[in-house]
Amino acid sequence: MFLRSTLSNARRASCFSRALHVEASKTSITDAVAKEKIVVFSKTYCPYCARVKKLLDVLDTKYETVELDTRDDGDEMQTLLFKITGQYTVPNVFINGKHIGGCDDVMIYLNKQQTRDNAGQLRDVKTL
């Protein structure tokens, strides 16, 4: 009886700890998206992520990168991003708090923005 009670308490503590960890991951996502103009949820080995980051670098645009594969809570963050956006793949990009999507979506979005810019350069993310 004591062993069963101890195991039950351990399971509850584990579930509570996991819930806190997931909530912390969710807070990390919402804080980053609210604070930064551009947030790229990425993985270090992903060629599509590299393509998006390179384009933003070429455009001399400031952005925040969250490398999911280097974080302890990266798997939880990716699952939460799926619940928030419906997209499980990376890159998962937000601009001005709005979910843009993955690599192709970002390329299309930025191309449309550049077309609107007479000089052909992305000058300020506020205009996106």
The pTM (predicted TM-score) of the whole model is 0.75
User: What 3-state class would DSSP assign to 24?
Assistant: helix
Please state which of the four CATH numbers 3.40.50.80, 2.60.40.2470, 3.40.30.10, 3.60.20.10 is assigned to the domain occupying 2-127: 3.40.30.10
Residue 25 confidence (pLDDT): 79
Q: In b/e form, how buried is each residue of 21-51, taking b as 16+ CB within 10 angstroms?
A: eeeebbebbeebbeebbbbbbbbeebebbee
Residue 113: per-residue pLDDT? 82
Please write down the HEC assignment for all residues of 88-127. Answer: CCCCEEEECCEEEECHHHHHHHHHHHHHHCCCCCCCCHHH
The reported pLDDT for the residue numbered 43 is 99
pLDDT at 17: 46
CA torsion sign, 82 to 89 to 53 to 110? negative
CB 40 within 8 A of CB 49: yes
pLDDT given at position 119: 52
Q: Where are the domains of the chain?
A: 2-127
Residue pointed to by tokens 């579930």: 15
pLDDT of res. 9: 54
pLDDT at residue 63 in the model: 97
In which residue ranges of the chain is pLDDT below 70? Answer: 1-24, 116-128
21: left (phi over 0), alpha (psi -120 to 50) or beta: alpha
Residue 126 has a pLDDT of 47
3-state helix, strand, coil in the chain (%, to 5): 60, 15, 25
CB atoms within 10 A of CB 106: 22
The pLDDT score that the predictor gives to residue 121 is 52
